[in-house]
């Protein structure tokens, strides 16, 4: 039995801007053009005034004259989306990004490997996305992509809904026909003229009747979806080279080297944890630094031995950072990526003569188990606990 999750970021552009500027959480705001253009995303205080995505900005300002308007920063939104994808891919490689703010995740193999509960895994993903990227998300879990997407819509805002196979019909049939994929205004109007207003009505209509009224392909699809039948697979991207990484944009540009080094440690810690979750090791570490003027540089180093330890990745990333010899340059974003990953089971690491029998490898394994059970802040380094 498949277990599919659909993760949908709540008011994504607006959520990202509120994470950067928490004062915006308490006031109506939207992302878009101030006088021309359209609303791209609105927070929930703005939605109470009737402001919705796709609405002309001029109309939104008339509906709420005091609304705060933020011009879009698509570079930053893409970076946050990439960071969210990294969280998903640390769990499984069966991830399909349907858009910048939503993804399908096939949890089937991950659950067999981890032996966890789908709801527990879904809640952990929600916590990690909020903790690492500062945005809320809703998660729907079901036996198919169709049901998972409907469940995530039911979970909004900032919730989780799971529909098991035995509950699909009871969950699906009371919904309006507009809930079905591909049913827009025109199709809904045609169905309403036939007296079909709910999914139950569709399911009770013979397939042949729907095909005569709606066409062979669409009629058959509507009938199958009305009974919860959807065998589409999660279309995961196949990377040319297996790698994992993390990056973080500072709330404000900084030239404080200690602050930058602490963030490099945080990124190395996340990257190493994701490697261990996949059973992978690396010898190649890449550091990326973006400056206040949006100039980005990357540097890559090679480690002497295969590793999945935070300290090893951090030491190499700091060495690369030091070699940049920056003179009070203002930094906007840092990232640490492990590249050319291989399975840990296929490598051997020669221990040093003075290395204790038990050390960081066992400690980080215990930390990973605690984080999996209690959340990302259950155990962390003291330096990272001080924001």
Domain-wise residue ranges, the chain: 1-163, 173-226, 244-385
**Architecture per CATH, 244-385:** 2-Layer Sandwich (3.30)
What whole-number distance in Å separates Cα of residue 40 and Cα of residue 29?
A: 11
Query: Residue 230 annotated as binding?
Result: no
* Residue 105, φ and ψ in degrees, nearest 5: -130, 125
What are φ and ψ of residue 256, in 5° steps? -85, 110
d(CA 129, CA 27): 23
Query: For position 240, what pLDDT does the model report?
Result: 47
The predicted pLDDT at position 15 comes to 94
Please indicate if the annotation marks 8 as binding a ligand. yes
What residues contact residue 374 under an 8 Å CB cut-off, 6+ apart?
none
Q: Are 46 and 25 in contact (CB under 8 A)?
A: no
Catalytic (active-site) positions: 102
pLDDT of residue 376: 65
Query: Which CATH architecture group holds 1-163?
Result: 2-Layer Sandwich (3.30)
Output the pLDDT for position 34: 74
Tell me the CA end-to-end span of the chain in Å, nearest whole number: 43
Nearest Cα neighbor of 314 from 251, 384, 242 is 384
Helix (H, G, I), strand (E, B) or coil at 245: strand
Supply the pTM of this predicted model: 0.68
Predicted local confidence at residue 372, as pLDDT: 66
Smallest CA-to-CA distance from 58 within 34, 85, 77 is with: 34
List of residues 6+ apart from 123 with CB closer than 8 A: 139, 160
Residue 50, pLDDT score: 95
Give the C-alpha separation, 108 to 92, whole Å. 9
pLDDT of amino acid 101: 92
pLDDT of residue 113: 72
pLDDT at 355: 62
* Residue among 257, 260, 231, 239 nearest 248 (CA): 260
* Fold observed for domain 173-226: DNA polymerase; domain 1 (1.10.150)
Q: What pLDDT, on the 0 to 100 scale, is given for residue 182?
A: 79
Residues of the chain with pLDDT under 70: 114-115, 237-241, 348-358, 372-373, 375-376, 386-387
């Amino acid at each position: 039995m498949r277990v599919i999750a659909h993760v949908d970021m709540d008011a994504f552009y607006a959520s990202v801007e509120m994470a950067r500027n928490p004062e915006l959480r308490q006031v109506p705001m939207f992302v878009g053009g101030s006088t021309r253009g359209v609303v791209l995303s609105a927070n929930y205080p703005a939605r109470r005034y009737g402001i919705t995505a796709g609405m002309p900005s001029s109309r939104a300002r008339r509906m709420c004259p005091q609304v705060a308007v933020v011009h879009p920063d698509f570079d930053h939104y893409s970076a946050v989306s990439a960071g969210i994808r990294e969280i998903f891919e640390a769990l499984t490689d069966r991830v399909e990004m349907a858009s910048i703010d939503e993804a399908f995740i096939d949890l089937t193999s991950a659950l067999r490997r981890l032996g966890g509960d789908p709801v527990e895994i879904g809640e952990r993903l929600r916590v990690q996305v909020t903790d690492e990227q500062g945005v809320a998300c809703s998660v729907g879990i079901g036996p198919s992509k169709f049901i998972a997407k409907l469940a995530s819509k039911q979970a909004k805002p900032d919730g989780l809904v799971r529909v098991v196979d035995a509950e699909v019909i009871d969950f699906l049939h009371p919904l309006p026909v507009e809930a079905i994929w591909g049913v827009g205004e025109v199709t809904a109007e045609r169905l309403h003229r036939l007296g079909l207003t709910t999914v139950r009505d569709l399911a009770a209509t013979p397939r042949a009747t729907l095909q005569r009224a709606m066409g062979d392909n669409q009629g058959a699809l509507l009938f199958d979806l009305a009974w919860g039948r959807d065998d589409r697979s999660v279309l995961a991207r196949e990377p040319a080279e297996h790698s994992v990484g993390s990056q973080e944009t500072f709330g404000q540009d900084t030239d404080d080297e200690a602050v930058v080094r602490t963030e490099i440690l945080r990124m190395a810690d996340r990257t190493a944890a994701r490697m261990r979750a996949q059973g992978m090791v690396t010898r190649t570490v890449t550091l990326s630094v973006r400056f206040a003027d949006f100039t980005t540089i990357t540097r890559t180093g090679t480690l002497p031995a295969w590793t999945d330890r935070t300290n090893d990745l951090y030491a190499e990333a700091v060495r690369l950072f030091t070699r940049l010899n920056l003179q009070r340059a203002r930094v906007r974003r840092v990232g640490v990526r492990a590249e050319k990953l291989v399975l840990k089971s296929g490598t051997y690491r020669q221990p040093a003569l003075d290395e204790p029998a038990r050390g960081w490898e066992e400690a980080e394994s215990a930390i990973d188990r605690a984080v999996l059970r209690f959340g990302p802040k259950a155990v962390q380094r003291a330096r990272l606990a001080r924001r």
